[in-house]
Amino acid sequence: MPTYAYQAVNPGKSCDRCQQGFEIIQRIAEPALIRCPHCKNPISRLLFAPAVVIKGSPMTETDRKIKGYEKEGKWSHAAELADKEAEKTKREDLKVRALEDYKKAGYDFDKHDT
């Protein structure tokens, strides 16, 4: 159940609890409170901006270039750029991407020259 915050409409005529504001757990379907449960004076629900969560790291210019090479089928170019960037930034995702692109370019890492 969500937690809602309330505060007095007229702080000068309210109790300490609603003057400072308080939180209460309510069902989403329940109507908003209009009176303080303690002093019965008018209160209003406070609105907060939603939290924005960005998953993963933002796409860098290098990521865009790699993606462009991959889209064009230039696997060795994409692999080389991803490999160099992975060495600089220590990004594991780029190491994996470089290996995948090298394989698509025809490099075979399973065979060893003897």
For the chain, report the end-to-end CA distance as a whole number of angstroms.
65
pLDDT of residue 69: 94
Q: What's the structural domain count of the chain? A: 2
When pLDDT is averaged across residues 86-98 and rounded to a whole number, the result is: 92
pTM value surpassing 0.75? no
Does 71 reside within a domain? yes
Whether 18 is in a domain gets the answer yes
43-46 and 3-8: which strand pairing?
antiparallel
Q: Is a pLDDT exceeding 90 seen at residue 31?
A: yes
Asked whether the predicted pLDDT for residue 20 surpasses 70, the reply is: yes
Contact predicate 81/74, CB 8 Å: no
45-54 per-position pLDDT tens digit: 988 777 776 6
Question: Which domain covers residue 89, as residue numbers?
Answer: 61-104
52-86 pLDDT, tens digit per residue, is 766 766 788 999 999 999 999 999 999 999 999 99
In a domain, 66, yes or no: yes
